[in-house]
Amino acid sequence: MAQSEQRVKSERAFFLDRDGVLVQDVDLLTDTSQIRILPGVVEGLQAIHEHGYLSIVITNQTVIARGLIDEAELDRLHDHLREQLVQAGAPNVSAFYVCPHHPHADVVRYRVECTCRKPKPGLLERASDEMGIDLSMSFMIGDRLSDVAAGKRAGCTTALVESGAHRAPPIVGMSAEAPPPDHRFADLREAVDSLLRGQR
């Protein structure tokens, strides 16, 4: 067995959906002018970092699969989001993990049944391997049941926030009997405060 497979996973993380949790869900976000940070996000990120957790964005980005922007442009959007959050008083987000795939992607190289598109847990598992995160000690916060399903399959405690698109129709790949979230909260601040209180 390789050395890396024996690595102790001692980090803890809050995995965060992007659209509808950190920023307003505008359906197809392709330009920095569309970024609107949601209420409670700065305070939520502060609490995450004060308690020694990593903050990791986990996001399906069909804008890539549709060819509306490329991966370099998405990286620039995320750099811009990081800067806006820091300017608003939040700590720097630890990492972004993106699924650019879609089974019906317009861009051929992204047209795959991948293992990382939520509700699949691939992005959380990759982050866990790369950053040494104990998934059973970590949380997944999203605004859709596909986020909850990904978090549950990865072994995290899950929460739904009602700040975003929680009433939107389920995305491709979701079964009708999606598991319910462990918790529901109004926004990220309330979610983080309550979940951390539960850990003490």
Report, as residue numbers or ranges, the catalytic residues: 17, 19
How near is the Cβ of 166 to Mg ion at its closest, in Å? 8
How far is the C-alpha of 38 from the C-alpha of 44, rounded, in Å? Answer: 11
Candidate list 11, 13, 20, 159; residue touching Mg ion; CB under 5 A: 20
Candidate list 77, 85, 141, 143; residue touching Mg ion; CB under 5 A: 143
> Among residues 13 and 29, whose Cβ is nearest to Mg ion?
29
Tokens of 25: 């869900």
Helix ranges restricted to H, 25-174: 41-50, 62-65, 71-87, 122-131, 145-154
Interface with Mg ion: number of residues (CB under 5 A): 4
Q: Is 17 in the site for Mg ion (CB under 5 A)?
A: yes
Instruction: Report yes or no: 65 and 102 within 8 Å, Cβ to Cβ.
Output: yes
Residue 38, amino acid = L
**Among the candidate windows 46-54, 112-120, 141-149, 192-200, which touches Mg ion by CB under 5 A?**
141-149
Separation of CA 194 from chain center: 19
Which of Mg ion, Zn ion, none interacts with 150 (beta carbon under 5 to 8 A by kind)?
none
Element (H, E) at 54: strand 54-60
How far is the C-alpha of 37 from the C-alpha of 154, rounded, in Å? Answer: 27
Which of Zn ion, Mg ion, none interacts with 20 (beta carbon under 5 to 8 A by kind)?
Mg ion
Q: Is 114 in the site for Zn ion (CB under 5 A)?
A: yes
Q: Is 116 in the site for Zn ion (CB under 5 A)?
A: yes
Separation of CA 93 from chain center: 11
Instruction: Report yes or no: 27 and 20 within 8 Å, Cβ to Cβ.
Output: no
Site residues (CB under 5 A) for Zn ion, limited to 88-107 = 99, 101
Which of Zn ion, Mg ion, none interacts with 17 (beta carbon under 5 to 8 A by kind)?
Mg ion
How near is the Cβ of 173 to Zn ion at its closest, in Å? 11
Q: Is 19 in the site for Mg ion (CB under 5 A)?
A: yes
φ/ψ of 184, rounded to 5, equals -130, 140
By CB under 5 A, name the binding residues for Mg ion.
17, 19-20, 143
Binding residues for Zn ion, per CB under 5 A? Answer: 99, 101, 114, 116-117
